Structure 1
Amino acid sequence: MEKLHRSVRLLYQGRSRRAQRFRYGLIVFDTLTILYFIITAAMSPSLLLTVVNTVLGGLILLDFSARLWVAENRRKMLMQVYTIADAVVIVSLLLAPFFADDLAFLRILRGLRLIHSYHLIRDLRRESRFFRLHEDAVYAAVNLFVFIFVTTSFVFVLAFDDRAGIAAYVDALYYTVATLTTTGFGDITLPTTGGKLLSVFIMVVGVALFVQLARAIFQPSKVHYKCPECGLTRHDPDAIHCKHCGTSLKIETEGSDGN
């Protein structure tokens, strides 16, 4: 058992070529499951979807269990938002076969898999210099993406689930984006009190996320590196001294190609 534990830990945390390929495979799997849940959010329940969802639930549970098994601080891992989201998604997927009508709230819960994208970014930060250099913009884009599709799921269930289907889900997405951007064409509205409050929430939070994304794109990119003296964690990519205290920094770079 100890040998197996060491092998699994090296796959998830090691630096070997095999471990890197394994983690990239996990990133591809996680990305595909997120896209799958977005695409199937509006589809009517069927035997095929139930089988696929159950299989995915088992695979996500296996990955979840392996990460928990090799985690250095299991309590900290269990408190992280993407871990909680994954646990909720696993439960919703494994419980779905026991609900003949595949209740609407289960489809919303699967949308929480989007929160796992924060975990993907953490892995990509370790693997990719591009993500380290553009981390702020990537996080802002992910925040907006997660907000749009999780909110769309709520709008879909609240106002469009009585005519479930791709067209209804697109209407829910259209309404979410129109409200979020304050375009307000008015061709689709939520007249109930709950719908109006949801619209206010979408506009207020959405504008803030748009501003965050614009600022991250147009401001100079920063890299995360903790200054050993003062603890400042954000620096210019080519910084050799900390702007706060002047301490020499040793930020990893790929150097210049001489052009």
Structure 2
Amino acid sequence: MADPAPASGRLRARLYSIVFHADDPLGKAFDVALIFAIVASVVVVMLESVASVQARIAGGLRIAEWVFTILFTIEYLLRLRLVERKRDYALSFFGIVDLLSVLPTYISLFVAGAQALLVVRILRVLRIFRVLKLAHYVNEAESLGRALAASKRKILVFIFVVLTIVTVMGSMMYVIEGGENGFTSIPQSVYWAVVTLSTVGFGDIYPVTPLGKALASVIIMMGYGIIAVPTGIVTVELNREREHEEAARRHEECPRCGLGEHDADARFCKRCGTSIMRATPEASGETAPESGARVAAPSSA
């Protein structure tokens, strides 16, 4: 007969389940309380930047900031203690965000104003997808990420073309308008070309001469046309990603009869009626992994 697991091992396994999973009421309560604390800490940081609020309750805000920082530090160290592959967790997305969410407060002891970087804590609210079992939203985000990655070369070429256009147009405007009209240098003129081509147009610099106004009109019209380019690139890749997913589902074998050809919008096998929808973490009762790292459950031994 095997010896029962030590109490310390059972406690560690229980803590791991509470901290890293949201399958039971305690785990979900821990994550919900954590999310509320994260939001509250971000609000404190934002209020600290408001002069009128800081003048009245600066001391209270500073105390609250340190209380949240100490709590999040304890939580980060607890997570490191509970996982077996500590390096994997520390280098994962959420591990890095958890660390960055506490470092600015300690850095502010040496560098004034560093605590403003604590707004990075808002990234920790992404855990709400795991808490509420919104796995399909995570899948959509991954699909968008793959589309952006597939578009990166086209987008880089597009950005290079835009940089070339604003450099040429800004230099031309520098020659046409000159320093007396605010175009005091080529970098200043390129800045004007950027804000004009992007249709922002701050109005702090503007052409005065007829030729300069004509060139500005050309740049503005080009800006409206250029806006559609990256949108079209990403849209094409999104459509390709959707086609790949539909093709994969059409050729996925039925788990019961083995039929491998289905309609694009099919949810059930046309031969035997068995569901052919892929099992998701939400449907199977599992929770999506917290990060890309392979964080193993602690041993109960």
- Give the TM-score normalised by structure 1: 0.49
- Greater relative contact order (Cα < 8 A, sep 6+): 2
**Higher Cα Rg: structure 1 or 2?**
2
Q: TM-score, normalised by structure 2?
A: 0.44
